[in-house]
C-alpha cells in the first residue's frame, strides 16, 4: 500500500482524500485547521496519521499531494522534493515562473516525479477530443473558445487568471501540442479585492495553415455555471461541456465552401458522442500513483507546469500594460 502525505484539507483537499483512499493509498493528513483535521478522522484516517504540520510525516511516506493555497505551493513542493518525495501539486504550480523552473530543475536533478494538477487533461471528453484533433477529424484548427463563468465567491489567494484561466492555458497546450506566440489580456477587479474577478484572454498559436486564435472568457458574476469549450476546424466544429452534461460532446459538420459566387456557409449534421463516465480527479490521482512505479509523470509534468506559468505571467503583463505580449517559441 502506497503511503501518501496529503497536505491541505479544504474543499478540494477533501475530494483528494476521498479518491486517494478509494485508490487504496495509505493516507497521512497534514492540516492546521482542527475542524478539518477532525473531518479526516471521521472519514477513517487513523489518529496517528493526522497532524497539524507536515514535517513529522516526511520520513514516513513515499509521496506528497499538495492541496493548499497557491502562494504556499513553491515552498511546500520544494521542501517535499528535497526530502526525497515524489510530489503532486495542485495548479497553479507556483505563482512565479522562476519558482516553477526551480521546482522543475530540482525534480530533474533529484530524479523525483513532479506532477501538476491540470485536471482537464484527465476528463474523458477532453481525451476523446485530443485523439480526434490528432487524427485531423476536424481539419485544420482555426478557433478555440473557452467560456468559464459561475456566480461564486472569488478566491482570496489568487485571482481568476492564476486560479482558473490556468485550466485552459494548459488544456490548449495539451490539445494543440504547442505554446502560444502572443497573448493579449484584459482583467477587471469589480469587487475591489485586489484580485481579478473578470477577464478576457486572447492567445495566438502558430500553425502550418496560419494562426490559431484561442479566447478565454471568465468571471464570477454570471448566474449558473458554464464550463464550455468550442473547437472550430476547417472540416467541422466540436462543443465540449466540461460540466458533465448529458450531451458532453456534440459534433457539428458545419463548414465554409468556396463557390463561383463566393464563400458559402454549409450547415452540417449534429452528432452526439458518448464518452465513458469517470471522475477526472480519480483518473488524475491514479495516474500519479502509477507514475510512482513507472517513474514517468503522467498527465501534466513539471515542464507543462512551467509553460502554464510562463503564459499566465505574460497575460498578467499584458493586462497591466494594456498591450499584447509576444512569447518565445522555446519558452
* pLDDT single digits (tens) 304-328: 999 999 999 999 999 999 999 999 8
Q: Where are the alpha helices (DSSP H) in 251-326?
A: 280-294, 302-321
Give which of 304, 6, 316, 325 is closest to 167, Cα–Cα: 304
Q: Quote the cell numbers at residue 268.
A: 452540417
pLDDT at 266: 86
Strands 198-207 and 182-188: antiparallel
231-242 average pLDDT score:
95
Segments in the chain forming alpha helices (H):
11-22, 34-42, 73-82, 97-110, 124-134, 160, 166-176, 280-294, 302-321
pLDDT classification of 137: cutoffs 50, 70, 90: very high
For the chain, the straight-line distance linking the first and the last C-alpha, in angstroms and rounded, comes to 39
pLDDT at residue 246, rounded to an integer: 78
Fold (CATH) for 3-118+281-299: Rossmann fold (3.40.50)
Question: Per-residue pLDDT averaged across 68-91, rounded?
Answer: 97
The answer for residues whose C-beta is within 8 angstroms of residue 33's C-beta and 6 or more apart is 9
Cβ neighbourhood burial of 262 (10 Å; 0-12, 13-18, 19+) = exposed
Mean pLDDT of the chain: 94
Cα–Cα dist 242/318, whole Å: 27
CATH architecture under which domain 121-279+311-326 falls: 2-Layer Sandwich (3.30)
Residues 2-52: tens digit of each pLDDT:
999 999 999 999 999 999 999 999 999 999 999 999 999 999 999 999 999
pLDDT tens digit sequence for 93-132:
999 999 999 999 999 999 999 999 999 999 999 999 999 9
Task: State the CB neighbour count (10 A cutoff) for residue 311.
Answer: 26
The grid coordinates listed for 222 are: 454570471
Q: Domain segments of the chain: what residues?
A: 3-118+281-299, 121-279+311-326
Amino acid at each position: 500500500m502506497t503511503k501518501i502525505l496529503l497536505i491541505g484539507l479544504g474543499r478540494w483537499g477533501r475530494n483528494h482524500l476521498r479518491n486517494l483512499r478509494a485508490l487504496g493509498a495509505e493516507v497521512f493528513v497534514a492540516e492546521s485547521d482542527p475542524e478539518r483535521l477532525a473531518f479526516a478522522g471521521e472519514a477513517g484516517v487513523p489518529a496517528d496519521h493526522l497532524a497539524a504540520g507536515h514535517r513529522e510525516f516526511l520520513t514516513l511516506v513515499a509521496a506528497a499531494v499538495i492541496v493548499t493555497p497557491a502562494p504556499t505551493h513553491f515552498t511546500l513542493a520544494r521542501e517535499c522534493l528535497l526530502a526525497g518525495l515524489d510530489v503532486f501539486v495542485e495548479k497553479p504550480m507556483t505563482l512565479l515562473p522562476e519558482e516553477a523552473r526551480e521546482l522543475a530543475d530540482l525534480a530533474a536533478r533529484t530524479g523525483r516525479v513532479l506532477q501538476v494538477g491540470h485536471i482537464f487533461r484527465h476528463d474523458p471528453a477532453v481525451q476523446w477530443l485530443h485523439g480526434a484533433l490528432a487524427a485531423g477529424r476536424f481539419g485544420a484548427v482555426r478557433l478555440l473558445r473557452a467560456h468559464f463563468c459561475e456566480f461564486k465567491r472569488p478566491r482570496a489567494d489568487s485571482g481568476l487568471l492564476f486560479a482558473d484561466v490556468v485550466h485552459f492555458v494548459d488544456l490548449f497546450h495539451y490539445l494543440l501540442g504547442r505554446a502560444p506566440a502572443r497573448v493579449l489580456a484584459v482583467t477587471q477587479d469589480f469587487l475591489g479585492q485586489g484580485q481579478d474577478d473578470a477577464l478576457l484572454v486572447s492567445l495566438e498559436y502558430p500553425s502550418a495553415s496560419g494562426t490559431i486564435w484561442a479566447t478565454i472568457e471568465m468571471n464570477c458574476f454570471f448566474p449558473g455555471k458554464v464550463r464550455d469549450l468550442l473547437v472550430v476546424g476547417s472540416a467541422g466544429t466540436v462543443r465540449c461541456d466540461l460540466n458533465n452534461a448529458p450531451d458532453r460532446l456534440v459534433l457539428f459538420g458545419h463548414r465554409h465552401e468556396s463557390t463561383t459566387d463566393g464563400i458559402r456557409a454549409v450547415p452540417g449534421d449534429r452528432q452526439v458522442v458518448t464518452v465513458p463516465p469517470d471522475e477526472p480527479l480519480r483518473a488524475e490521482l491514479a495516474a500519479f500513483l502509477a507514475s510512482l512505479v513507472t517513474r514517468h509523470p503522467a498527465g501534466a509534468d513539471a515542464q507543462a507546469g512551467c509553460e502554464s506559468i510562463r503564459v499566465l505571467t505574460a497575460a498578467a503583463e499584458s493586462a497591466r500594460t494594456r498591450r499584447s505580449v509576444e512569447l518565445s517559441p522555446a519558452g
